[in-house]
Copies of this chain bind each other. A is one copy, B any other.
Amino acid sequence: MAVQTVATPAVDLGPAAALSCRECGHRVPLGPVFACEECFGPLEIAYDFSAYDTEKLRARIESGPANIWRYAPLLPVPADVADKPNLNPGWTPLVKAGRLAAELGVTGGLFVKDDSGNPTHSFKDRVVAQALEAARAFGFTTLSCSSTGNLAGAVGAAAARAGLRSCVFIPHDLEQGKVVMAAVYGGELVGIEGNYDDVNRFCSELIGDPAGEGWGFVNVNLRPYYAEGSKTLAYEICEQLGWRLPDQLVVPIASGSQLTKIDKGLKELIALGLVEDKPYKIFGAQAEGCSPVSAAYKAGHDVVRPQKPDTIAKSLAIGNPADGPYVLDIARRTGGAVEDVTDPQIVDAIKLLARTEGIFAETAGGVTVGVTAKLIESGALDPSLTTVVLNTGDGLKTLDAVAGTGLTATIRPNLDSFREAGLA
């Protein structure tokens, strides 16, 4: 377990009361720690929501800003968070996907939660925004992470906005386009001679070393705060449905954290009385080339056997997902499932979503749409129920996946040539 030696000032993180172990319930004060000192289980935020009146809370949320800070009373952030420089992600469109529904045979209402509208065009802005507030609260001056893509941009941009130093670690041989996207924000961008596992190992070493003092690694020592950002997806979906729970949600699985936090967010809304207490089903989506949770689900296992990823859905390519067991539990408990699709099915689903709804998703969005189609075919997902599918990223960042797409015709600049091509 990494305990930071940095001096922690008085911490105001709003309703966050303590850190609590998800396994044994042991509580510790808020701080930059992520693993239980008793059982090494993951720490998560324990809140004090006891003072809230349901209708006053609802009114406060509805009159809040058009970003995640409308939910500040439910997040580990200070009450004045909206006044501080941050990327202010969220309140992304919940698209009523009538044309996609018609293609898939969904009659109960199909919606795409399109997180490509976030500032750096992925859902990572939601989690990094929380980590940034925690970093400020703990007096950190450097925001850091290991990454091969979306997270690097989100951390670089958020640190730039806030005036913090950033230092992002990536494998040294990443594609040039991804390096440019991460480097443009002007922070330190350090290539590590090794693969992504080497980068991660190095970051763990750095956190335990004096050289890492004052560093907030968003998904390591700030992970309990960071992870809470995914709850905002659940809040927004329900509020955008008119404070209703969807019947079914299809969520991508990388580490599994997002899916578990969406479940947590839905349960909070029920407990707070903001939505009615009714069943909902959560479905997890993976790429076949990195499907450790799907494989465990299908085999009826409670534990997840690590895989070596080989898929175009690189933003989901975590072969040893930390929250895998929790995902299995949620899928089974809610009556959902975990399913996977092949790379060609991912590409087909990206194109299907684009041509029916005008949403250009990254590969992770192809995974959720493709899995939705597969779950309908198998009967696991009920097409007569209200269903929300997540798109967590932007197709502009994974152009290679659809590189085969091109011109439908080439003509000379005259009407005869136009007619010959059968375009009239």
Contacts and interface: CB of A to CB of B under 8 A. Distances in A.
A99 B85 contact: yes
Interface in A46-88: 66-67, 85, 87-88
B407 A190 contact: yes
Interface string A184-207: 111111111110001101100110
Nearest to A96: B85
A351 B205 CA distance: 32
A413 B211 contact: no
A10 interface: no
Contact of A411 (B193, B351, B396): B193
A367 to B, nearest CB: 16
A163 interface: yes
Interface string A379-406: 0000000000000001111010011011
Contact of A185 (B161, B172, B360): B360
A295 interface: no
Contact of A172 (B87, B184, B188, B410): B410
Given A172-B410, A415-B206, A177 B399 contact: yes
A279 interface: no
A217 B191 CA distance: 47
A329 interface: no
Nearest to A417: B193
A36 to B, nearest CB: 26
B406 A205 contact: no
A28 interface: no
How many monomers of this protein are in the complex? 2
Given A181-B396, A358-B185, A418 B163 contact: no
Contacts of A268: none
Contact of A418 (B206, B396, B399, B414): B206
A179 interface: yes
B350 A413 contact: no
Given A191-B407, A413-B193, A354 B180 contact: no
Contacts of A161: 99, 357-358
A305 interface: no
A356 interface: yes
A119 to B, nearest CB: 7
Given A179-B406, A183-B405, A184-B350, 20 more contacts: A66-B66, A119-B358, A121-B396, A157-B354, A157-B358, A159-B358, A160-B354, A181-B399, A185-B354, A185-B355, A185-B360, A190-B408, A191-B407, A191-B411, A192-B410, A194-B412, A194-B413, A201-B413, A206-B415, A209-B415
Interface of A: 66-67, 85, 87-88, 91, 93, 96, 98-99, 114, 117-121, 153, 156-161, 163, 167, 172, 176-177, 179-181, 183-194, 198-199, 201-202, 205-206, 209, 211, 350-351, 354-360, 394-397, 399, 402-403, 405-415, 418-419, 421, 423-424
26 contacts: A66-B91, A85-B98, A85-B99, A114-B119, A120-B358, A160-B355, A161-B357, A172-B407, A176-B403, A177-B399, A180-B402, A180-B405, A181-B395, A183-B405, A188-B409, A189-B407, A189-B408, A190-B408, A190-B409, A192-B410, A194-B413, A202-B413, A202-B414, A205-B415, A394-B396, A396-B396
